[in-house]
Amino acid sequence: MWKNYLEERETERLLIRPLVKDDDEMWREFIMDEVATKYFPDDWKMKPEKSMEWIDFQLKRYEDNRYGLQALVEKKSGNLIGQCGLLLQNVDGRNEIEIGYHLISRYWGNGYAIEAASEFKKIAFENNVATSIISIIDIENVPSQKVAERNGMTRATRTKYLDMDVYIYRVQYKDYKNTSVS
């Protein structure tokens, strides 16, 4: 991981910053939301203690130079609305860089997921993190698939990941480079 991964960033409507332990209370809203966690493994759903465990896991990723999800803060309200970031994943025995994103459901439908995911695609490619980037998405999670597609990704394969049936969406650097505005 390069040293600037954890610097604070801004998009048009979002502040992006590393997670902190104080984000636990707001993140608990996500963990306790049956709709938001529909495509999560059962052991993460509806258990308030999993909120801090989730944040601690991301903080450990930062420490271990394995990237990690970052906080998405809505500029207008100052509220934590979700998380997005790069994740080092092992899929079918291959190390991959994933763009992961999760939003608290009351913020869905506002374009925040694509705004954040696009920023992390740009960050990854402009810092030469990988020649391709993936998103791992449950085969039934159509809204997340649409976010990936709007982020320039295409469905590459179907596989099992954490005992879930998922699609791997992928974008290649060469395709990003050819569509980027200079």
- Element housing 157 (H / E): strand 154-161
Neighbours of 15 (CB within 10 A): 16
Asked, for residue 25, whether it belongs to a domain, the answer is yes
How far CA 33 is from CA of 46, 51, 102, 146, 176, in Å, comes to 7, 12, 12, 21, 34
The beta strand positions in 35-143, using DSSP E, are 67-74, 80-91, 94-103, 132-138
Name the residue range of residue 65's domain. Answer: 9-179
Give the span between the Cα atoms of 75 and 93, in whole angstroms.
Answer: 39
Asked, for residue 37, whether it belongs to a domain, the answer is yes
Asked, for residue 1, whether it belongs to a domain, the answer is no
Per-residue pLDDT tens for 2-52? Answer: 678 999 999 999 999 999 999 999 999 999 999 999 998 888 788 899 999
95, 116 in Cβ contact below 8 A?
no
The phi, psi pair for 79, rounded to 5°, reads -85, 145
**133-149 mean pLDDT:** 97
CATH number assigned to the domain comprising residue 71: 3.40.630.30
pLDDT value of residue 37: 92
pLDDT value of residue 2: 64
Give the span between the Cα atoms of 4 and 87, in whole angstroms.
Answer: 15
DSSP 43: G
State the Cα angle at 89 between 88 and 92, rounded to 5°: 150
Asked, for residue 129, whether it belongs to a domain, the answer is yes
Asked, for residue 106, whether it belongs to a domain, the answer is yes
Selection from 79, 54, 49 nearest residue 68 by Cα: 54
pLDDT value of residue 178: 75
Q: How many domains does the chain have?
A: 1
pTM of this structure: 0.94
Asked, for residue 4, whether it belongs to a domain, the answer is no
Asked, for residue 92, whether it belongs to a domain, the answer is yes
The phi, psi pair for 89, rounded to 5°, reads -125, 155
Asked, for residue 3, whether it belongs to a domain, the answer is no
Per-residue pLDDT tens for 56-103? Answer: 999 999 999 999 999 999 999 999 999 999 999 999 999 999 999 999
- Element housing 82 (H / E): strand 80-91
